[in-house]
Amino acid sequence: MSYILPNEMVEWDLLIALYPFLTGLVAGAFIVSSLYYVFGFERFRRLSSLALIISIAFMIAAPLPLVAHLLQPSRAPEIFFTPNLTSPMSIFGYLWVTYLAVMLVEGYFMHRRYIANRANKATGLLKVFYRFMSLSKDTSDNSARRDLKVVRSLALLGLPLAAIFHGYVGFIFGSLKANAWWSTPQMSEIFLLSAIVSGVALVFLSYVIIATATKTEIDRDLLSYGGKVLAWFILMDSVVELVEVLYRAYLQAEDWSAISQVFFGQLFVPYVGLQFILGAAAPLLLLTSRRIRRSSFGMALASTLALIGTFVMRYTTVIGGQLISRTGQGFLTFTAPLFGQGSIFTALSTFGLPLFIVAFLTTVVPWEAKDTEVIAQ
């Protein structure tokens, strides 16, 4: 017998599953960018600009699924004017503005010398545009060193912001004691680790695609190194997620029966098949091979699988958690509509926008850091 309360519905739909996926990509890509500027991971130098561009593009799109999901989207600014400070959700507006500003300023100083150079060389309207953008004509090495200092400071400041920006999303879910699947203190760590997985995967997938499209030579050592980093994060993320499930299974608390019926029943294919086997075990297995790590197709495939795994994790967390009734003795069902609010089409369009922004930004500023003329380093 299924015992469901009459008001229970899956109110948080596909768009809410997409939201942590987008914020995860923001945080993950930003961390990749900071690996060079803050921690001196020399091998990531070449991708530091691309990673930041991806981070900015997805940051611009991050609020869209949230606002599109609201029943009163015109009241969204209330979050700035009357924030309830006991609500983790209330910090979104301020955090988004602060973090986006940090990323934009960092991106600007990263490319300031390039823009100033273009301002000096360009003619006509382009010259006016680049002059306006560069703010100064100084292209000296001293100015580049100053830029680098600013970039490093902002990359450092951005790291805790990245952790908070995505960690608080995990906190929103983890702190809801009404939900058997969500309410775990581990939720923030799980979200953060999977964010890094998706960020690293997207940066390398974009690298392979853009380099192939622009006929740029691909750095095989960089690919192989990135593959190792990706594999380590997939491993850490999977371990944390599996340990969480193992604990719940072993503790056999009153909610376990309902949880196991949803995640190993209704959601078996997405949860076990897509999230753990196709989205984690398969890329992990692929990345153990040095040949695959050095191949563009191999890295693109492993990255795509890791991205699918991360998205499915967001889906099974957000939707899966709502399929268990508060009674623990009944289950809801969910099918995403093709069109309309919260539909597959809306989610795909929302995800497509940052990809367009990445395509645009990589054509107007250098995405690959080769020398200091191009990027502060």
Partner 1 sequence: MKEATVLGLGASLAVAISPTYVNAEGTKQTKHYAMLVDLTRCLGCQACTASCKAENNVPFGVFRTWVERHEKGTFPDVSLQFVPRLCNHCDNPPCVQVCPVQATYKREDGLVLVKDDRCIGCGACIKACPYGARYFNPIKRVADKCTFCQPRVDQGLEPACVTTCVGRARVFGDINDPSSEISKRIGRKPVQVLKPALGTEPMVFYIGLDVVQVR
Q: Is 2 in the site for partner 1 (CB under 8 A)?
A: no
Q: Is 11 in the site for partner 1 (CB under 8 A)?
A: yes
**Separation between Cα atoms, residue 277 and residue 29, nearest integer Å:** 24
User: Segment 294-323, which members bind partner 1 (CB under 8 A)?
Assistant: 322
Shortest distance (Å) from residue 21 CB to partner 1: 18
Region of 331 on the Ramachandran plot (φ > 0 left; ψ -120 to 50 alpha; else beta):
beta
Which window, 69-77, 118-126, 162-170, 299-307, contacts partner 1 (CB under 8 A)? 69-77
**Separation between Cα atoms, residue 331 and residue 324, nearest integer Å:** 5
Task: State which residue, 79 or 155, has the beta carbon closest to partner 1.
Answer: 79
Residue 331 φ/ψ, nearest 5 degrees: -135, 145
Task: State which residue, 64 or 208, has the beta carbon closest to partner 1.
Answer: 64
Q: Is 178 in the site for partner 1 (CB under 8 A)?
A: yes
Crossing angle of the two packed helices 48-61 and 14-37, in degrees rounded to 10: 150
Q: Is 41 in the site for partner 1 (CB under 8 A)?
A: no
The DSSP code sequence of 191-215 is HHHHHHHHHHHHHHHHHHHHHHHTT
User: How many residues make up the chain in this entry?
Assistant: 377
Instruction: Please give the C-alpha separations between residue 281 and each of 6, 90, 158, 192, in angstroms, as whole numbers.
Output: 39, 37, 31, 19
Residues 43, 68, 83, 127: which binds partner 1 (CB under 8 A)?
83
Residue that has been written with the tokens 């580049």 in this structure: 144
Q: Are 173 and 321 contacting, i.e. CB atoms less than 8 angstroms apart? A: yes
Task: State which residue, 131 or 326, has the beta carbon closest to partner 1.
Answer: 326
User: Segment 198-237, which members bind partner 1 (CB under 8 A)?
Assistant: none
Shortest distance (Å) from residue 99 CB to partner 1: 17
| 3-class secondary-structure state, position 106 | helix
Shortest distance (Å) from residue 131 CB to partner 1: 42
Instruction: Please give the C-alpha separations between residue 263 and each of 258, 259, 272, 317, in angstroms, as whole numbers.
Output: 9, 6, 8, 10
Task: State which residue, 176 or 272, has the beta carbon closest to partner 1.
Answer: 176
CA angle 57, 59, 65 (to 5 degrees): 105
Residue that has been written with the tokens 């993950």 in this structure: 28
Residues 6, 123, 335, 338: which binds partner 1 (CB under 8 A)?
6
| String marking each residue 329-368 x if it binds partner 1 according to CB under 8 A | x---------------------------------------
**Separation between Cα atoms, residue 79 and residue 59, nearest integer Å:** 18
How many other CB atoms are there within 10 angstroms of residue 149's CB atom? 11
In sequence order, the β-bridge partners of residue 3 are 329
Local structure of residue 263 (DSSP, 8 states): I
Which window, 152-160, 174-182, 302-310, 368-376, contacts partner 1 (CB under 8 A)? 174-182
Shortest distance (Å) from residue 57 CB to partner 1: 25
| 3-class secondary-structure state, position 329 | strand
Residues 58, 92, 165, 225: which binds partner 1 (CB under 8 A)?
92
Shortest distance (Å) from residue 325 CB to partner 1: 8
Residues 98, 143, 153, 179: which binds partner 1 (CB under 8 A)?
179
Which window, 19-27, 42-50, 86-94, 140-148, contacts partner 1 (CB under 8 A)? 86-94
Task: State which residue, 30 or 173, has the beta carbon closest to partner 1.
Answer: 173
Residues 15, 172, 205, 231: which binds partner 1 (CB under 8 A)?
172
Given 3-state DSSP classes, what are the helix, strand and coil percentages for the chain, each rounded to the nearest 5? 75, 0, 25
Task: State which residue, 91 or 235, has the beta carbon closest to partner 1.
Answer: 91
Which window, 89-97, 107-115, 146-154, 354-362, contacts partner 1 (CB under 8 A)? 89-97
Residues 120, 216, 288, 327: which binds partner 1 (CB under 8 A)?
327
**Separation between Cα atoms, residue 26 and residue 122, nearest integer Å:** 33
Residues 2, 86, 142, 333: which binds partner 1 (CB under 8 A)?
86
Q: Which residues bind partner 1 (CB under 8 A)?
A: 3, 5-9, 11-12, 66, 69-73, 75-76, 78-79, 82-84, 86-90, 92, 172, 175-179, 322, 326-329
